């Protein structure tokens, strides 16, 4: 059952769509006195729903770009160096670590981020000024809504904190003053923002609802979601404030797993997490509600990977079109002789031959892992298998005629190879290792993270709620804390409590898996990547926390050039934080740019 949907407040949401840090004093309800606007609990619910709706639009798209394209698992590729899919290097700048403060994608993310926070600020101010009795509510009920919005604001702030760190302003007022950066000193600013998020979470948690197993709180910020945001803060405190908090983090994880903040459990069938009724899954802690025509970002997890004619494969007639510009980081280079369908006959593995601990996504999945197969929907069982598209792609889940490629291979059979290169020598001659700028239309394995249902199923995949918090993240967080404390065996046991659901042959779990000889920190980081592939968190603080974001080796870094531009194996550490957009600095002299930009 979806939580409160916003229909009649849609106009209000759209009116705020241009709200950014260039206008932090925007007030959504400033034309209607709060005492008149809020008449009962239903009106409060509507205002809260408006914030969830805007949060989904703001954070599920642009933040996904910045967290995934810049990391080692997912890349924005173009065809023939930009004849197709170049997009003015808008997103390619993320995959190649070449963004600047003037990059459009940075500005767009900034502008989208502040709307949610502004809505939260206004609603918190309004609700704190209202007498519960005047709108026929109890004090406890009203406090619960305030706590919910404070937690939602803390979540929004956490997301931007991961991107811009201590250069952020701390804007928690609905007044007219436009703040500058939290502090002119970046590290001090980090501590101010960190402490604010932590305090907000701690002060609001007890007033929130606790999940009792019914699923009624899973589309809302509940106690467990609140604690998981705090858990993320603690896990990454060395990144944020140069302070080790792993012991405190481990204690919090155990409390969550003990059920102190709600009833949850790891599901035996991973598909329950992503399918249409996922709010009923006991592993899901909180998911943003999706519904076509109201909150329509449910296509984001799949369409960037898909070809234009993907509906011939999936059997749907959806209005959304595939982008065909995103692929998984390849597992193989381009050594050997070129094959007619693309790819080469004797490539070398980035995982084994090169020895990379990052990237090489598809081959890091064990061959016995049930996820490592092409996505197929079974109309008889109403379920699906596999999460990839690889090899020859044919209509009707591989049973029909071959789908045809477009662009550089227009009209040829579409065959996805686990390599990236100009196999037709168009735009640039094929080289052993090429950047994603030179990926033909058949380059790279594609990910189907959330299921796409055929029209015959009567289920619109865009209505699947987007999972933001799930219990397996708590398990993996505790595992990493144990690993950092020297308990590798304890870490392994925790990871495998989740991972066992992917294997019918449990003997495969006795070894650390492809590319690893021991259960060490590199293995732990890889396991994070496999479990949460494509879920918008890979750069987040996973790579940052392991000091691999600019210092780690994957794919083309250190091995490829583009028109004289080299991609060093170790990038400048300035890229560990994103720059404030130049447009924001121009209108707000109180903002201080991140170091080294």
With a cut of 50, say whether residue 28 has pLDDT above it.
Answer: no
Contact 384, 369 (CB under 8 A): no
Percent of the chain with pLDDT over 90: 81
In DSSP terms, which residues pair with 74 in a beta bridge? 328
Averaged pLDDT, 375-383: 94
pLDDT at residue number 36: 65
With a cut of 60, say whether residue 26 has pLDDT above it.
Answer: no
Categorize the per-residue pLDDT at 298 as very low, low, confident or very high, splitting at 50, 70 and 90. confident
pLDDT in tens, 32-64: 456 567 889 999 999 999 999 989 888 888 999
115 contacts: CB under 8 Å, gap ≥ 6: 16, 17, 19, 20, 54, 58
pLDDT at residue number 33: 57
pLDDT at residue number 17: 34
Alpha carbon distances (Å) from 486 to 85, 143, 489, 521, 548:
46, 42, 9, 10, 20
User: What domains sit in the chain, N to C, each tagged with a CATH number?
Assistant: 39-73+97-207 (1.25.40.390)
With a cut of 60, say whether residue 82 has pLDDT above it.
Answer: yes
Lowest mean pLDDT among 58-62, 406-410, 518-522: 58-62
How many Å apart are CA 236 and CA 109, to the nearest integer?
22
Neighbours of 496 (CB within 10 A): 17
With a cut of 90, say whether residue 320 has pLDDT above it.
Answer: no
pLDDT at residue number 83: 79
Lowest mean pLDDT among 59-63, 105-109, 305-309, 521-525: 59-63
Q: Which of the pair, 217 or 176, is modelled with greater confidence? A: 217
With a cut of 80, say whether residue 8 has pLDDT above it.
Answer: no
pLDDT at residue number 316: 78
pLDDT in tens, 324-371: 999 999 999 999 999 999 999 999 999 999 999 999 999 999 999 999
With a cut of 60, say whether residue 415 has pLDDT above it.
Answer: yes
Averaged pLDDT, 385-412: 95
On average, the pLDDT of the chain sits at 91
pLDDT at residue number 144: 97
Lowest mean pLDDT among 76-80, 468-472, 545-549: 76-80
pLDDT at residue number 4: 38
**Closest alpha carbon to 297 in 43, 536, 46, 44:** 536
Percent of the chain with pLDDT over 70: 94
Q: What is the pTM of this model?
A: 0.93
Neighbours of 597 (CB within 10 A): 16
Categorize the per-residue pLDDT at 540 as very low, low, confident or very high, splitting at 50, 70 and 90. confident
pLDDT in tens, 225-268: 999 999 999 999 999 999 999 999 999 999 999 999 999 999 99
With a cut of 50, say whether residue 456 has pLDDT above it.
Answer: yes
């Amino acid at each position: 059952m979806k939580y409160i949907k916003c229909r009649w407040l849609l106009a209000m949401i759209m009116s705020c769509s241009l709200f950014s840090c260039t206008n932090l004093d925007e007030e959504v309800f400033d034309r209607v006195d709060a005492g008149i606007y809020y008449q009962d609990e239903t009106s409060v619910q509507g205002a809260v729903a408006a914030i969830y709706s805007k949060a989904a639009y703001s954070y599920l798209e642009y933040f996904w770009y910045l967290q995934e394209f810049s990391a080692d698992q997912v890349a924005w590729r173009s065809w023939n160096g930009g004849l197709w899919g170049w997009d003015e290097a808008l997103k390619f700048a993320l995959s190649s670590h070449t963004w600047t403060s003037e990059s459009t994608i940075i500005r767009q993310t900034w502008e989208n981020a502040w709307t949610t926070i502004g809505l939260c600020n206004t609603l918190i101010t309004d609700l704190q000024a209202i007498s519960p009795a005047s709108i026929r509510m109890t004090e406890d009920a009203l406090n619960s809504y305030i706590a919910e919005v404070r937690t939602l604001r803390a979540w929004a702030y956490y997301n931007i904190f991961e991107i811009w760190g201590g250069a952020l302003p701390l804007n928690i007022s609905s007044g007219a003053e436009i703040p500058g950066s939290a502090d002119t000193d970046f590290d001090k600013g980090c501590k101010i923002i960190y402490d604010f998020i932590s305090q907000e979470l701690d002060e609001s948690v007890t007033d929130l609802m606790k999940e009792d197993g019914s699923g009624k709180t899973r589309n809302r910020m509940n106690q467990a979601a609140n604690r998981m945001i705090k858990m993320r803060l603690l896990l990454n405190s060395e990144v944020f404030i140069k302070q080790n908090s792993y012991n405190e983090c481990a204690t919090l994880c155990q409390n969550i797993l003990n059920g102190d903040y709600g009833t949850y459990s790891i599901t035996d069938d991973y598909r329950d997490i992503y399918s249409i009724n996922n709010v009923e899954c006991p592993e899901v802690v909180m998911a943003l509600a999706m519904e076509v025509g109201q909150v329509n970002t449910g296509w984001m997890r799949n369409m960037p990977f898909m070809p234009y004619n993907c509906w011939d494969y999936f059997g749907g007639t959806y209005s959304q079109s595939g982008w065909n510009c995103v692929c998984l980081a390849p597992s193989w280079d381009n050594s050997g002789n070129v094959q007619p369908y693309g790819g080469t006959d004797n490539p070398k593995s980035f995982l084994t031959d090169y020895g990379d601990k990052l990237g090489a996504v598809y081959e890091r999945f064990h061959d016995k892992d049930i996820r490592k197969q092409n996505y197929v929907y079974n109309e008889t069982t109403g379920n699906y298998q596999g999460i990839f598209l690889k090899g020859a792609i044919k209509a009707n889940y591989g049973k029909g005629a071959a789908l045809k490629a477009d662009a550089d291979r227009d009209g040829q059979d579409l065959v996805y190879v686990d390599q990236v290169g100009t196999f037709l020598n168009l735009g640039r001659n094929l080289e052993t290792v090429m950047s994603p700028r030179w990926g033909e239309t058949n380059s790279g394995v594609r990910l189907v993270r959330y299921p796409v249902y055929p029209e015959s199923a009567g289920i619109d995949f865009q209505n699947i709620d987007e999972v933001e918090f799930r219990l397996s993240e708590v398990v993996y967080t505790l595992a990493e804390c144990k690993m950092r404390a020297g308990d590798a065996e304890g870490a392994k046991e925790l990871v495998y409590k989740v991972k066992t659901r992917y294997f019918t042959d449990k003997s495969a779990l006795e070894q650390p898996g492809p590319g690893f000889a021991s259960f060490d920190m590199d293995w732990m980081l890889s396991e994070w990547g496999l479990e949460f592939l494509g879920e918008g968190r890979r750069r987040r603080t996973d790579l940052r926390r392991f000091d691999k974001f600019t210092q780690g080796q994957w794919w083309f870094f250190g091995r490829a050039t583009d028109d004289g531009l080299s991609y060093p194996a170790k990038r400048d550490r300035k890229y560990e934080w994103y720059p404030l957009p130049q447009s924001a600095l121009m209108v707000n002299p109180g903002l201080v740019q991140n170091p080294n930009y």
